[in-house]
Amino acid sequence: MELFTNQVLAGIATGAIYACMALAVVMIYQAIDHLNFAQGEMAMFSTFISWQLMQWGVPYWGAFILTLALSFAGGILIERLLFKPLAKAPVLTNVAGFIALFAIVNSVAGLIWDFTIKQYPTPFGSSPFLGSQLISTHQAGMIGVTILLLILLFIFFQYTRMGLAMRAAASLPESARLVGINTSWMIALGWGMATAIGSIAGMLIAPVVFLEPNMMGGVLIYGFAAAVLGGLTSPLGAVIGGFLVGVFENLAGTYIPGVGNELKLPIALALIITVLVVKPAGLFGRPIVKRV
C-alpha cells in the first residue's frame, strides 16, 4: 500500500508538468482548432530566453515576467507572420506549417545555445515537500502555479469582456464578426496567451528535465495526451488529465511486468485511446453533435 501511495504521489509530481503543458495546448486549440506541434519547441525557446536573461544578471522573477511578455508578443508575431496567411489553406497544410516551425525553432535554439544540457534554477527550492521524499517543494510549487493559472484563466474567460469575445470568436467566428468582434485578432491573442502559458510551463519544467533544445519533445506528447484525455475544450479537464496521465504512467511502470521506461509512453497512450473509444470527447469535453 505504501508503494502504491508513493507511486501516486510521484505520479502527481510528474503530472504537474503535463498539466501545465496541457493547459497551453487547450489554450491554442480553443483559439485555432489545431494542436500546435511546435508548442513545446516554442516553450523551450522561451525558457532559453529566460535563462539567457538570468545569465545577464536579471533576477529570477524579473526574467520570468520579461519572458512572459516576450513570449506573448512572440506568439502574436508568429501568428501574424506565418499562420495568418495560411488561415484559408487546408487543415493539413497548417499541420505541415507547425512541423516546419518545430524544425526551425529547434534548430535555431541549438545554434544559439548548443545542445549541452544546462542547469535551470527553481524559485521554490528542491527540498522534500512536507517531509516526503517523492515530492519536492519545486514540484509542489509547480502544482500551485498550475492551479493558480487555471483559476486566472477561468476568471478571464468567464468574467471579462475580452474573455467572452475570445470564446465567441472560437465557437462561432461568423456570429462573432456580426456582433463586431475582430476574430482575426482574437486568434492572434490566443496564440500570444498560449505561448505565454507555454513559457511558464517551460520555466517550471526546466529545473526537472534540465534545459536543452530537445527538452520538450516527450513533455509535449504527454501534454497532448493529457489535453485530449481531459477534453480539448476544457482547461480544467486538461489539468486533471495531466495529473491522471502522470499517475497512470507511474503505476503502469510499477505494476505491469515488462514495462520499462521505454514502454511507459505507448502504454499511457494506449490507455488514453481506450478512454477515447469509450468517451470520444474526452472526460470533461463537450460532446459535439454533427449534422449533415
**Site of interaction with other proteins (CB under 8 A):** 29, 34-35, 82, 85-86, 89-93, 95-97, 99-104, 106-108, 110-111, 161, 164-165, 167-168, 171-172, 174-183, 221, 224-225, 228, 232, 258, 262-263, 265-266, 269-270, 272-273, 276-277, 280, 286-292
DSSP letter for 286, please: P
- 14 vs 234, which CB is nearer to other proteins? 234
- Smallest separation (angstroms) from other proteins to the CB of 126: 30
Cβ proximity to other proteins, 2 vs 262, nearer residue:
262
Q: From the CB of 31, what's the least distance to other proteins, in Å?
A: 15
Other C-beta atoms within 10 Å of 289: how many? 4
Complex with other proteins: residue 37 or 243, whichever CB lies closer: 37
Which lies closer to other proteins via its Cβ, residue 170 or residue 200? 170
Which residue is it, cell 504527454? 222
Euclidean distance between CA atoms 281 and 75, whole angstroms: 28
Minimum CB–partner distance for residue 273 and other proteins (Å):
5
> Which CB atom, from 58 or from 276, has the smaller least distance to other proteins?
276
Residue of 284, 218, 226, 292 lying closest to 20 (CA atoms) = 226
Cβ neighbourhood burial of 184 (10 Å; 0-12, 13-18, 19+):
middle
According to DSSP H, which parts of 160-182 are helical? 161-171, 173-178
Residue closer to other proteins by CB (options 131, 257) is 257
Smallest distance from other proteins to CB 265, Å? 6
- For cell 544546462, name the residue: 118
CA dist 79 and 31 (Å) reads: 11
**209 and 215 in contact (C-beta within 8 Å)?**
yes
User: In the bound complex, what is the minimum distance in angstroms from residue 263's beta carbon to other proteins?
Assistant: 5
Shortest Å, Cβ 157 to other proteins: 11
Q: Which is nearer to other proteins, 74 or 141 (CB)?
A: 74
CB of 73 to other proteins, least distance (A): 20
| Distance between CA atoms of residues 153 and 27, nearest Å | 9
Cα-based distances in Å from 123 to 11, 62, 64, 138, 206: 22, 12, 10, 8, 12
